[in-house]
Structure 1
């Protein structure tokens, strides 16, 4: 009998999870599966989840929350035969958006039950920190910082963050050492994309795959209202002058001055240098 462990973040998305948990219980009735539920607390979650998995020995772990919950689960199950499923229930659901996991609970659970998987790659930053989705330095990371440190949430908080970033926007220089060449770019942002799109739906590239052993470097050279708007409608003109996309398996980047850095939505402070490499096929991911 297949055992599924649901890892639930009770505060993700500022939403009560009672109804969602009830839907999980109702869904499981009559199916030839065994389910367990475990809630995060924000304190030593990684070690406690490891202990829980060791005790229960599930075949599948389902992250019920946002990108932070997905990363928590991914870090624990990477390198094992345990499959990772997603039940989007956070304020940011970037990986669920990338995989086109339905927002409807029953439809998302049907994806879990079907159990189709890929061996997904992960990104390793400075031989220390992992990312699964999209990480970046510059403009977007600055927006994340503004939103996290601001008093307002929702659209007004995001709008204020955008305004503050645009008012203080300056280019920085990035020296980018790729697999086969070194380039120098004057830009507002450099993104490290293991996927094609942000949780907002904005597309960064059209060539990215989660299981190809490569990742994409997206360089935003200058602001283009028309170009950036088009990216929200699944269109990226990769020949346009305002941006550039490189594909690689590793990269070393040096900046001429420190920039805010985020990994999958988690702020990592300011950096002026970062090394990134692919850890290919390390995560069994349900799609």
Structure 2
């Protein structure tokens, strides 16, 4: 019998999860499934989820929430061989969209049962913190700080954050050591992309793949209004002069001054140095047919 654990974030996206729980229960009736539901509380969630998985021993864990819930589950499932699925229930669900999960709950549930899996990579930051999709230092990390201090989410929150950041926009210098090559860049942001899309839904690059054993280092050299609009309408030009993209399995970035740093939407504070390496094929991830 297929055993599925649903990890539910009751406050993600400011959405009531009662209807989600009801539809999950109705879907499971008549199917040969054993399901459990577990809710996050914000207190020692990682430790408690580990204990729940050890007790229930599921075949699949499903994150019911936004990208933060997905990241919680992903960290717990590293090298466990347990499939991770997503029921998009956050404010933007960029990660779910990136890997082809439909927004309609019945369709997402069907994909959890019948979808294919990939051996997805994760990123390890400074030898201790894991990320799954996109992290960065600079402009967008500053936006994350604005998000944490503000009330709006999604595109409107992003636009408000951009306006605020533009008022204090300054370039910084970043030295990138990629293998035997060292390059010096100047710009507003250095991003580390295992995937294509930010949690807000904005597309960062068109070549990111979760299972290719490498990641993209994206340098935003200058703020381009057409480029910013293109992120939301998926008209990204990877060869544009306002950005530079490097591919790597390992990189060390040193900044000339401290900048805010975020991992998959979680603000890590200010830093002058970030080391990143890929952890290949460590996560069994359910993806859509088009991924």
Superposed CA offset, 1:158-188 (max 9, x none): 4432221001000000000112411111100
Distance 1:251 1:75 in 2: 21
The aligned runs of 1:1-287 (5 Å cut-off) are 1-150=1-150, 152-154=151-153, 157-287=157-287
Distance 2:101 2:45 in 1: 25
Superposed CA offset, 1:67-105 (max 9, x none): 111111111111011100011111242210211211111
CA contact (8 A) 1:97 1:199 kept: no
Superposed CA offset, 1:247-272 (max 9, x none): 00000000000000000000000000
Superposed CA offset, 1:115-145 (max 9, x none): 4100000000000100001001111110110
Structure 1 gaps of 5+ residues are none
Structure 2 gaps of 5+ residues are none
User: Is the partner of 1:232 in helix, strand or coil?
Assistant: helix
Superposition deviation, residue 147 in structure 1: 1.6
Q: TM-score, normalised by structure 1?
A: 0.96
Q: Which moved more, 1:126-135 or 1:160-169?
A: 160-169
RMSD (Å) for aligned C-alpha atoms: 1.3
Superposition deviation, residue 57 in structure 1: 0.6
Distance 2:207 2:133 in 1: 14
User: Is the partner of 2:240 in helix, strand or coil?
Assistant: coil
Distance 1:56 1:181 in 2: 47
How many pairs align? 286
